[in-house]
Amino acid sequence: MPSDQEIEELALKLKKSRSTQDRIDLLHRCPQVRESSLVEKLSKLRSAGQAAILQLIALEQMPKLDNLSDKEIADLANLLSEVDHFYREMGGIAGYQMHVRKLLQKKSENLAVVQFHSPSFIDISQRGPEVDEAVEKGIESLPYLCEMYPLGGAADRLHLVDEKTGGDLPAAKLQFAGKTLFERLICDLESRERLYYQRTGQKIFTPVAIMTSLEKNNRAHVQEILEKSCWFGRPKERFFLFDQPLVPTVDEKGNWIWNGAKPLMKPGGHGAIWKLAIDHGVFDWFRSFGSKYALIRQINNPLAGLDYGLLAFTGLGISKKMAFGFASCPRACQAAEGVNVVVERKLQDGYRYNLSNIEYCDFEKYGIQDTPIHPGEPYSRFTSNTNILFGSLDALESAVKMCPFPGLLMNLKEDSKGRFAGRLESTMQNIADVFVETSAEPLREKRLQKTFITYNERSKTISTAKKAYAAGRSLNETPEKCFYDLMTASRTLLQNECRMRLPRERTLEETLISHPSFVFLFHPSLGPLFRVIGSKLQGGSLQDGSELRLEIGDAFIENLVLDGSLLVSAEGGKFAEPPAVCRLKNCTILNRGVDWECSKPFWKGDYLRKETLRIELGKGAEFIAEGVELKGDLHFVVPDGMEMRIARGSLPGSLNDVVIRRLRES
């Protein structure tokens, strides 16, 4: 293999080359290329493919594949030319190899001139005048917001498989609490748009850009979800899909890993989202809808949309005219999570600062001491990077042009064959490294002017579904733990805001053995603000093992006693006028509910029920029950524009107890 210096020199020359032919001519002068018997076969390829394969030969990463057919060579050239083009700003494939080699050496920062501090954050964990003002600003500014979702990751640790075909599935199709993770992102967005509509009477459809990939047919699966859902009732033109390129994997020495005639390829990290946004014109597409700011979320964190967190976060970024921001929360020591830091660099004439992220696999490299704030406490002195990000579109676009590949890292992991494999990855949060500020003197308070960080309760900020649970191993980052955390947040909501009596809380381990103490799932449009939900649900109790699902935005429930299962759903969409409404007052619901033994894993939300009360509302329909006891397996369907009222007595019983009348024309 060429030396590191030779690889760097080659990458630099390729980067400076004016044309593809100049690059080919340069590569033909490399001794490895001159001696290769494969070169003659490459003359039939397009110039981009030739340049890509010639680099592999020059880097001595091309295995002996003398028996390749012309078709196999052409396929390989097409695959590699995409990698070469994507990394053109660093010198193409040679530049990729250069950075791989540098990172594998694990050189530490010069801690004499670099220090890492815990940032000064804006605390939004408790409501107060500043937080409420930020929430209102977040609602008011929704027409100027766009959203970006990096969905192209491999999600190998979830071991997600199609039960019918046996094929691998991406994280976007993981069914969690009754919805795919992708659908949950859209529901969170819808709830904020509905809140804006209720305040202003104006309908908005936030533009959404989605980074997919070819890994596990990711792009096809995301497209399928969108088409089967009729684009979630949103204008099709408000979605922009673009593919994240796959990149070659290497072993611990930096040698490429091959599967036959092709290198083993994996997604190259969510940091690709920025450069791809430039390459595909995503920023201009956002601006065509009037967007000025972006909210960036990852798919594997279903808790981020709870309560007011996202609204306060974006509201602060907009009101304070910030370029970039992180949403953070407490982080347990030794957790496999990145941390937010303020980087301080000593210059000859002062100091340079920037807010940043350091991945847990790089703690040793940067000298990060993963210790608690105070001895004996469980939480680290650094807060968790949640990959919930805010950015000004203009500032982001300028930053990407300065740094197309932020946060480059190598994270070698042992694969199923017992070999260590990794690839060059870029991290989207480290675009923050571009937003630097200088000071003649050290900053006493580590709060910056261009970038910010918020601090919120962990239960309303992050719990991820990243890996499948295996008996005897940690439950962290599993869907089991994520669902448990979601129910813990629901307990806080029901107890503190709704004043409901709840059964004893089980530990996660007890839950896995037995069943959840209760399940409360709701469409975010019921709030999403917990105080709004608290104004709709008040009093009453849930008995052990009960299930309450409210797939409706307008449910008004007072003093409900539920021992069993209650499911309420509504049609009509978020802007339906008049909306479907469910009103329950002083009602008792008794049925045999969920068969928990036959409903594992609980986190999927795919339950087998012995009995349930199911209420289905058409567009503009209403269901009203007051002072009644509803027993057994019951199913009420209220057609469009109709009202069903149960005013007295109990069911089953006299049909006189049920009154149906037309409210309006559907």
Dist. CA 16–CA 487, nearest whole Å: 55
| Domain assignment present for 360 | yes
Residues 198 and 62 in one domain: no
Give the three-state DSSP class for 242: strand
- Residue type at 274? W
The domain boundary residue, chosen from 396, 427, 460: 460
Residues sharing a CB contact under 8 Å with residue 100, sequence separation 6 or more, in sequence order: 250, 254, 410, 424
| Domain assignment present for 608 | yes
Residue with tokens 């910056």: 448
Handedness of CA 620, 621, 626, 632 (dihedral sign): negative
Name the phi and psi angles at 52, rounded to 5.
Answer: -70, -50
Model pTM greater than 0.85? Answer: yes
The structure tokens listed for 364 are 């040793």
Q: Choose among 472, 294, 304, 466: nearest CA to 391.
A: 294
- Confirm if 564 and 342 have CB atoms less than 8 A apart: no
Residues 490 and 441 in one domain: no
Please tell me the chain's helix, strand, coil percentages from 3-state DSSP, rounded to the nearest 5: 35, 25, 40
Residues 264 and 409 in one domain: yes
| Domain assignment present for 467 | no
Q: What would the pLDDT profile of 369-414 be if each residue is shown by its tens digit?
A: 888 878 888 888 899 999 999 999 999 999 999 999 999 998 788 8
The per-residue pLDDT for 606 is 95
- Confirm if 612 and 566 have CB atoms less than 8 A apart: yes
The domain boundary residue, chosen from 412, 427, 460: 460
The domain boundary residue, chosen from 104, 131, 164: 104
Place 653 in a pLDDT band, splitting at 50, 70 and 90.
very low
Residues 486 and 596 in one domain: yes
| Domain assignment present for 272 | yes
CA angle 33, 39, 40 (to 5 degrees): 145
Residues 357 and 447 in one domain: yes
- Helix 393-402, helix 272-279: angle, nearest 10: 100
Residues 99 and 118 in one domain: no
Residues 81 and 194 in one domain: no
Q: Choose among 580, 578, 589: nearest CA to 556.
A: 580
The per-residue pLDDT for 368 is 87
The average confidence (pLDDT) of the chain is 92
Dist. CA 487–CA 494, nearest whole Å: 10
| Domain assignment present for 469 | no
| pLDDT over 70 (residue 66) | no
| Domain assignment present for 471 | no
What's 276's domain CATH number? Answer: 3.90.550.10
Residues sharing a CB contact under 8 Å with residue 315, sequence separation 6 or more, in sequence order: 133, 134, 135, 136, 137, 138, 139, 140, 141
The per-residue pLDDT for 415 is 73
Residues 456 and 545 in one domain: no
Number of domains in the chain: 3
Q: What would the pLDDT profile of 488-510 be if each residue is shown by its tens digit?
A: 999 999 999 999 999 999 999 99
Residues 375 and 454 in one domain: yes
Residues 128 and 28 in one domain: no
Dist. CA 157–CA 426, nearest whole Å: 19
- Confirm if 130 and 303 have CB atoms less than 8 A apart: no
Residue with tokens 């982080």: 331
Residues 524 and 589 in one domain: yes
Range of the domain at 97: 4-104
| pLDDT over 90 (residue 71) | no
Residues 38 and 156 in one domain: no
Residue with tokens 């676009």: 397
